[in-house]
Structure 1
Amino acid sequence: MSGMVLRSHSGVSFRFDPGALCLELLTTGGPGAFRRFEVLHAPADLVAWAERSRLTPTPALEVTEQDVAYARRVRDALFRVVVARIRGGLPEFGVEGGGREDLDVLNEAAAHPPLVPAIVGDGERRVWAGVAVGTQLVSSVARDAVELLTGPYAERVRMCAGERCYLVYVDTSRPGRRRWCSMEHCGNRHKVRALRARRAEEGR
């Protein structure tokens, strides 16, 4: 089963597949009020995120404190760009922007050498198995963002329709009607609320 395992504010674990590497990074925190969800504090945190991401198998990474700060800077720029395109900003959470300065941050990160793909013994494509540095990891994320935001699915980057859920995903389904971060989380909560509302209406 694809996706990352996340934990809601109520402590419930669920699987979330945002559909793109760059959007997986947005699950680690963000600018404004989203800083309270920050999980990238040390090099080990960035390595742990990479191991949970779709970079499988993950190459050996040499990550510094500067790499972690850089990853947060690129992530926050991407968050603002994506939110601005989806909703025009979330001022109530201190998330606005998404303009030229944030695009410059993404483009500068994408200009660095990325993680290198290779063919391994079983004929499969993998990320190069050698030791990589943090800037390569961040570059790969930024390049993925450029591909996503300029590609055929750019108009399908959305935010979950769940109440107080701000997870971002790209809808790669054929009909293009995905509404929830996860059917087992926000999708299920919506169904439960709808069922309760229907029963309450029938009980009148």
Structure 2
Amino acid sequence: MTEPAIGLVLHSSEGVAHRFDPGALGLELLPTGGPGALSHYEVLNEPADLARWAAASRLRPDPGGLVVSPEDVAAARYLRDALWHIAVARVHGEPLPAPDLVVLNEAAAWRPPALRLAPDGGRTWRTPITGTQVLAAVARDAVELFSGPYADRVRECSAHDCRLVFVDVSRPGRRRWCSMEHCGNRHKVRAHRSRSQAYEAPEG
């Protein structure tokens, strides 16, 4: 049985789909929108939106077993904005903002989903799963990430017009792009054009 691909399917401003794997559940919530100018990308507007995101995330819960309320959506946006502030501070080596740590730590104290062992030896979740439990799992993963051995590998995409954040869990530790399909490919195209122009013979 083929394992489902890890990562979220995002769409560029041109409508081109590409897969973005931020490397951790605690960062998967960020592409749903964010504070300030990032609110332009908001997609968490109703319970179905949060349920859809959860089903596509690393948690992979059964969509039919999710119970999400409007209050869960508001809490998700609140937690996500706090995670943005914490992640950006971590990327730039700045002190982690105290008010956002309060939000994160409170969410991490909630009860997460309960794991179950399936008959085939796989892992599944005890249902129903509430939106609060989903957010608890996200928050706990973020605490592990920002306090763990990969905390120094939390990075922003190197593209000048991309703010996506990821953790580089590769062995070489040289990941630069949110996605090679998107920003990495755009960089290669620009570099190729630049080299081509440099080799053009001058007119005269």
| TM-score, normalised with respect to structure 2 | 0.92
How many angstroms apart in 1 are the aligned matches of 2:125 and 2:149? 24
Aligned length: 196
Question: Where in structure 1 are there 5+ consecutive unaligned residues?
Answer: 90-96
The Cα shift of 1:88 comes to 6.2
Deviations 1:56-87 (A, max 9, x none): 24361111111100010011001101011113
Describe how 1:1-204 pairs up with structure 2 within 5 A: 1-58=5-62, 60-87=65-92, 98-128=96-126, 130-204=127-201
Which structure 1 residue ranges, 4+ long, deviate > 4 Å from structure 2?
none
State the AA in 2 paired with 1:58. D
Conserved in 1, the CA contact under 8 Å of 2:54 and 2:61?
A: no
Deviation of the 1:12 alpha carbon = 1.0
- What residue ranges of structure 2 are gaps of 5+ in the alignment? none
Shift of 1:127: 2.5
Residue deviations 1:25-60 (CA, integer Å, cap 9, x gap): 001000011001000000000000011111124361
- In the TM superposition, residue 9 of structure 1 has moved relative to its aligned partner by 1.1
- CA distance, structure 1, for counterparts of residue 93 and residue 146 of structure 2: 15
Matched to 1:123, the amino acid is G
Greater Rg, structure 1 or structure 2?
2
Give the Cα–Cα distance (whole angstroms) in 2 for the partners of residues 158 and 139 of structure 1.
Answer: 23
CA deviations 1:122-150 (Å, max 9, x no partner) are 1112222x101111111110001001001
Q: Percent identity?
A: 58
**Aligned residue type for 1:77:** A
Question: Would you say the 8 A contact 2:154–2:166 is kept in 1?
Answer: yes
Counterparts of 2:21 and 2:143, CA distance in 1: 19
CA distance in 1, matches of 2:200, 2:125: 58
Q: Distance in 2 between matches of 1:105 and 1:193?
A: 41
Note the C-alpha offset of 1:98.
4.7
SS where residue 19 of structure 2 aligns? strand
Give the Cα–Cα distance (whole angstroms) in 2 for the partners of residues 122 and 161 of structure 1: 42
2: CA distance between counterparts of 1:9 and 1:151? 34
* Superposition TM-score, scaled by structure 1 size: 0.92
- Classify the secondary structure of the residue corresponding to 2:43: coil
